[in-house]
Amino acid sequence: MKANYVDADVEEPNGFIFLKPKIENVSNVEVDIPSINADKCQKCYKCVNFCEFNALAIAKDEILVFDKLCHSCGGCKIVCPYDAISYKKKIIGIIEKGISDDIHCIRGLLNIGEAISSSLVKTLLNGLSEGVNIIDSAPGTSCNVVNTLNYADCAVLITEPTEFGLHDLKRAVTLVENLKIPFGIVINRVIEHDNIIKKYCEDKNIRILGEINYDKKIAELYSNGNLLVDNDNYKKIFINLSKNIEEQLLCR
């Protein structure tokens, strides 16, 4: 069964570089930005005091709107007693859909200069197709990662056997455990079979779904925009990985 590929790393999506889909559809993603009616506004500043993101501020006798800080929550309009706030639309990015070898590909792409990407991620993931969706999340444990995991049935955490890798892995493990999402680990750039990531996983009784050895050839293929799964030397790694994900995470 073919899966759908979804690149939810909207600030730096790179999956299309490798899959090279033929783009069939492009749509804008809009958010609501508050607009203050100066004739109705009585300078009570309830909207300013309400906004936790400092998207509204007092400047002499007017209220300033910082649209790049606005999360479009709608709260400012609700607390305004004078009906002085309306909303205008702002395009923050696009969603692209295409086909690559019968794989349906979709990605979000945040406009350059935009600071808030959560609305784009949510719009992207709310429009997922039925079937298996492989979601390529942003790295780390940011708000976008949390938003992505809210749509996930399981998670595959990718790390490498370094102190930095272990530090970030611990944060990611805490996140998926708090969200109660089944997960497993893939260790990338393995030089020694016994390493700090493997010891951590054994101590915590965490599934290791697969390992990818450190290999200069992999870096060369990746740098040229080639998929490792298309290379006969590495295909077996990903076939085994997909089987482990299905058996250990999906078939539970």
pLDDT in tens, 220-239: 999 999 999 999 999 999 99
SS3 content of the chain, % helix, strand, coil (to 5): 35, 30, 40
Q: What is the C-alpha to C-alpha distance for residues 250 and 1, in angstroms, rounded to an integer?
A: 14
- Asked if residue 110 lies in contact with residue 10, where contact means CB atoms within 8 angstroms, the answer is yes
Domains of the chain in sequence order: 4-30+92-250 (3.40.50.300), 32-90 (3.30.70.20)
Q: Supply the DSSP string of 183-247, one letter for each residue.
A: EEEEEEEESSSS-HHHHHHHHHT--EEEEEE--HHHHHHHHTT--GGGSTTTHHHHHHHHHHHII
Instruction: Note the pLDDT of residue 3.
Output: 84
Predicted structure pTM score? 0.91
Burial per residue of 170-201, b for 16 or more beta-carbon CB atoms within 10 angstroms, e otherwise: eebbebbeeeeeebbbbbbbbeeeebebbebb
pLDDT in tens, 4-51: 999 999 999 999 999 999 999 999 999 999 999 999 999 999 999 999
Per-residue pLDDT, averaged over 194-223, amounts to 95
Q: What type of residue sits at position 80?
A: C
pLDDT in tens, 43-98: 999 999 999 999 999 988 889 999 999 999 999 999 999 999 999 999 999 999 99
Alpha-carbon distances of 127 from 150, 152, 244, rounded to whole Å? 14, 14, 28
1 pLDDT above the threshold of 70: no
Six token digits for residue 41: 């506004």
Instruction: Note the pLDDT of residue 154.
Output: 96
pLDDT higher at 183 or 192? 183
Q: What type of residue sits at position 229?
A: V
**What is the residue-averaged pLDDT of the chain?**
94
Instruction: Note the pLDDT of residue 130.
Output: 81
Residue 214 CB neighbours (<10 A): 13
In eight-state DSSP terms, residue 1 is: -
